[in-house]
Amino acid sequence: MTPKKKMIIGAHSIIYSRKPDADRAFLRDILGLAHIDVGDGWLIFELPPAELAIHPSTKNNLHEFYFMCNDIQAFVASMKKQGVSCSPIQSLRWGELTEVKLPGGGKLGVYQPLHARPNAARQHKPANSRGLLKH
């Protein structure tokens, strides 16, 4: 049997913001995400390995975005040192969750997963010759 070609090569997530420049600066300067400028300050950020889950809902076209970390306490402490407040950590069945308020007013969930993860042993490799800038 011939293996199937992967049709999906990645995912592109979008965070809508009332202050996109401020939120882009937060992702670049505070979270330190590698990025490229595709013109006029429009930044596209590299994301770490991702996963996708489908949850039941009475509505379609609802989506959520979360960053994951290995140590939620260390993440919150790092944000505090940089003057960024986080919501109190919630202990949930699937992980330890906090929210960061973005400069644009939105909230970004960050959690330490307690659930099984696909390819959890795979290491995220730093940006290389793909033209991504490390900040």
Give CA–CA dist 35/44, Å, rounded: 5
Residue pLDDT tens, the chain, 135 long: 566 788 888 889 999 999 999 999 999 999 999 999 999 999 999 999 899 999 999 999 999 999 999 999 999 999 999 999 999 999 999 999 999 999 999 999 999 999 888 875 454 444 433 445 444
Give CA–CA dist 56/51, Å, rounded: 17
Going from N- to C-terminal start, the domains of the chain cover 20-48+62-113
Q: Domain 20-48+62-113: which CATH class? A: alpha beta
| Of the candidates 15, 19, 29, the residue with the CA atom closest to the CA atom of residue 67 | 15
Dihedral sign for Cα 66, 67, 68, 72, please.
negative
Give how far Cα 3 sits from Cα of 6, 10, 107, Å: 9, 19, 41
